[in-house]
Structure 1
Amino acid sequence: MTTSLKIAFLPLTDAAVLVAARECGFAEEEGLALDLVRTTSWATLRDRLVFGQVEAAHMLAPLAVAVTLGLSQQPAALAAPYKLNVNGNMLVMAGDFAKALEPDVVARLSDPLGTAHDFATAIGLWRRKPVIGVVHRFSSHSLMLRYWLANAGVDPDRDVVLRVLPPSLTVEAMRAGEIDGFIAGEPWGSAAVAAGLAEAVAIGERIWSRGVEKVLACRESWLQDNPETADRLLPALARAAAWCDDPGNREALANLLADSRYIDQPAHLIERALSGQIIARAGDPPVSSADFMLFGREASSFPWRSQALWIYSQLVRWGMVAHEPAMVAKASAVFRPDIYRRALADSGVSMPGASMKVEGAVNQPLPVGSKEGKLTLGPDRFFDGRVFDPEKIDDYLAGFTPLR
């Protein structure tokens, strides 16, 4: 018997695993019929999931945590048993603003620490507080932007204006002069560069080498009531992720995503993120970033509880949530490695034996113990060299210099 599942998504390149699971037959092989429901904004997607209009969603990882912590309009217990990707976002700014930055875009993107300080100087030269588009207050992009700016002494709540708008509207907002730049998942940064509206300033992969991005989010109650369905869905996604990571499938994947049902943008723009060949400024040769977006390799899909807690630490840092033991427990419980392990136990997918790790401590590929004995974790370094120990959240937060 075939089980139908409605899954909400936004038109972004990192919806690739869901699209491939449907279009390449991986879901069908598991007896699942995926109905992918295209949505414009993260707020609408959140509501569709919370109110039961869909069974699952392609969701910003911090949004899943925030909804569970009661920071959203309609609190609900959400669970993320699978990460759909890591990395994949880019900060772009108007060309006039970028003139105050390092002109060599390869050097600019390779040195996020120096570029952050250049950016701080550029703010003082700009005609107004720079207006930077973010796709949601509780997005990985927004938290990374805050982290990056604060390193250079920029207060993201005072020195710039962060304006929320859906990813697919970012390019038109730049064209209309409503924003001076934005940070979003691909292909929207590339689309702004291709239109001559912006230049790339920083990429997520260089801010946090394995930065958590989108997750498969479900209502906790649905996961509890439908374990057999979840145990079919995750293997389908894992096979789709392996297919998406295969360089030989990039062109086919870009063409799938370009369809009007999904992203509805040119395939060549979409393929840039998939291949890690980023055009930072119109007319320039591509800048290579081999790990610009990962779907499954090197345990990219594993829902580390420590990453949920890093998200929590940033929410605390910016005064979005009170730091309390109950909140720590709730945030940690959003990511569900137990369900991941159960669903993929017989799939051959390599997975770590631990559920938490010190984030930012891996500087080069690291072999680790797993059931299959063949798992290598990729570098997960933060651009400023900090590490996040999930057992020492207080010490981590105390290490940041207050901006005011």
Structure 2
Amino acid sequence: MNAIPADGPFTAPERRQVTLGMLPLNDVAPLVVALEEGFFAEQGLEVTLVVESSWASLRDGLQLGLLDAAQMLALMPLASTLGLDGRPTPVLSALTLNLGGNAITVSPELHARLLDVAPHGLDVPLEQARALARVVAARQRAGEAPLRFANVYPFSSHRYLLRYWLAAGGIDPDRDLDLRVVPPPQMVSQLEAGRLDGYCVGEPWNRLAVSRGSGVVLCDSFAIWGASPEKVLGVREAWADRYPATHRALLRALLAACAWLDDTPAHRERAARRLCMGGYLDVSPLVVEEGLRLPTQTASSSGMTLFHRHAANFPWRSQTRWYAAQMQRWGHLDASLDLEAALARCVRPDLYRQAADELELSCPLSDVKPGGEGAHAGPWTLPGSRGDIAMAADRFIDGEVFTA
């Protein structure tokens, strides 16, 4: 893969100084790389990265205007635009920062119980969920308290990927488990203190638990949904309208950083060192480096992340619509809301195409995935504006295809 040229005859940004919010996670790598490797500077931007302690504090910072833009969970722009999340604030995203990167981790004690009811092993994610259902049923018969699982935020991919995995195994998340919200950096300590039996979180917090012997990774987000979008670049709609050239400069810089990350294994290793030595992650560089390896570098795919390949950066409306359908499935989104209008407002492939075209990138021609989300069991080819795009499997754990 060739690096994307970051220079060109672009409209100068209306303002050079931009403040970006982030959380200490492996998949913040595009923001850190764009700063430390000079991609922001090449686009005429002077960027300050602000490390927040939780998604709630990041949300508040963006909604109050303390942050100009932010690494956000895929559902946060929709939730903010609909007024579900804090102050009703129109927020849009024109760039997906990565696919995958999450995993489900359980305590060694729970893992041992899962092995007891699955003597042939736990290699298949669907069978893992079914084994958990058997453990849950046994605990209910014995009068034991529900197992405690956590995700990172009420409006997060983690919450709905975890629920999809549980339901595929025959577990009712609301009836059978105690589900909680815990900020990512606190997951491992909560597991070690016995306050949690499992969680769904992004790296490095799964591999950290494994390295300390306090957790066992069951499956990653790609095993639940092969094309699961994770983080996006979020900006307030009013900010994007006021500073359109600045917004496009941000998009170009981050696109270049994402391509750089997926270019070579050496770039992933360099990014891991940037994250740790730059003070963005207070975790062993070895743990971060392992979680940032390209999928082709390791036999284990747990927590694997794609930053650019397979049209990873394109903001498919069908992907956000799937998450919204899961919100409706579990009663977290009022069916009477004008969802399509909100999607058109906060998921902006048109703005992505403008920035990508300036970098001479081939873009998908449609705003929704051809054939539906989950329709592709293996590699496939997507027609693009500047040539075909190599795509990867995007199957769901239960084989369903989402076309709504």
TM-score between both structures, scaled by the size of structure 2: 0.90
Asked whether the equivalents of residues 9 and 38 of structure 1 are also in contact (C-alpha less than 8 Å), the reply is yes
CA offsets, 1:21-45, max 9 Å, x none?
0000011000011111000100000
Per the alignment, in what secondary structure is the counterpart of residue 358 of structure 2? coil
Correspondent of 1:198 among 196, 210, 215: 215
Residue matched to 2:378: 364
- Letter paired with 2:16: T
Q: CA deviation at 1:363?
A: 1.6
How far is the alpha carbon of 1:108 from its aligned partner? 2.8
Q: 1:380 aligns with which of 388, 394, 399?
A: 394
Deviation at 1:325, TM superposition (A): 6.0
Match of 2:327 among 289, 297, 315: 315
Deviates more, 1:317-326 or 1:295-304: 317-326
Shift of residue 242, structure 1, vs aligned partner: 1.0
Aligned position for 1:131: 148
**8 Å contact from structure 2 (residues 220, 303) kept in 1:** no
Change (3 A) 1:114 1:50: same
Paired residues of 2:103 and 2:302 also in contact (CA < 8 A): no
User: 1:224, CA displacement in angstroms?
Assistant: 1.1
Matched position secondary structure for 2:292: helix
User: C-alpha distance in 1, partners of 2:302/2:167?
Assistant: 27
- CA change 1:155–1:112 in 2 (3 A) is same
Contact 2:203 2:303 in 1 (8 A): no
Corresponding residue for residue 397 of structure 1: none
Q: Conserved in 1, the CA contact under 8 Å of 2:94 and 2:347?
A: yes
**213-222 vs 264-273, which deviates more?**
264-273
1:396 corresponds to which residue?
none
| Displacement over 4 Å in runs of 4+ | 102-107
1:107 is displaced (CA, Å) by 6.1
> Which residue in the other structure is 1:282 paired with?
none
| 2:88 maps to which of 64, 71, 75 | 75
Query: Match for 2:223: what amino acid?
Result: R
Q: 1:302 to 1:59 in 2, by over 3 A?
A: same
Shift of 1:112: 1.3
Contact 2:291 2:303 in 1 (8 A): no
Aligned to 1:243: 260
8 A contact 2:219–2:302 mirrored in 1? no
Show the 5 A alignment for 1:270-309.
270-275=288-293, 287-289=299-301, 292-309=304-321
Q: Deviations over 1:51-70 (max 9, x none)?
A: 10011110111122212122
What SS class does the counterpart of residue 162 from structure 1 fall into? Answer: strand
Secondary structure at the aligned position of 1:352 is classed as coil
Coordinate RMSD, CA, aligned:
2.1
Whether contact under 8 Å (1:15, 1:58) holds in the other structure is: yes
Deviations 1:215-260 (Å, cap 9, x if unpaired)? 0011111111111111111111111001111222121111111135
Say if 2:226 is the partner of 1:209.
yes
Q: CA separation in 1, counterparts of 2:303 and 2:275?
A: 19
Contact 1:38–1:261 (CA under 8 A) maintained in structure 2: no
Residue 269 (str. 1) matches residue 287 (str. 2)? yes
State the distance in 2 between where 1:199 and 1:245 align.
Answer: 27
CA distance in 2 between counterparts of 1:41 and 1:240 reads: 24
- For the 8 Å contact 1:275–1:290, the answer to whether it is kept is no
Equivalents in 1 of 2:400, 2:228: separation in Å?
Answer: 14
Q: Which residue of 2 aligns with 1:151?
A: 168
Using the size of structure 1 for normalisation, the TM-score is 0.90
**Distance between the aligned counterparts of 1:259 and 1:160, measured in 2?**
39
Using the TM superposition, give the Cα deviation of residue 321 of structure 1 relative to its aligned residue in structure 2, in angstroms.
1.3
Q: After TM superposition, list the pairs within 5 Å mapping 1:169-188 onto structure 2.
A: 169-188=186-205
How far apart, in 1, do the equivalents of 2:238 and 2:104 lie? 36
Equivalent position amino acid for 1:261 in 2: G
C-alpha displacement of 1:290? 8.8
Matching of residues 211-230 of structure 1 within 5 Å: 211-230=228-247
The answer for unaligned runs of 5 or more in structure 1 is 279-285, 391-404
Out of 335, 338, 362, the position equivalent to 1:350 is 362
Distance 1:290 1:90, change over 3 A: closer
Count of matched residue pairs: 382
Secondary structure, counterpart of 2:343 in structure 1: helix
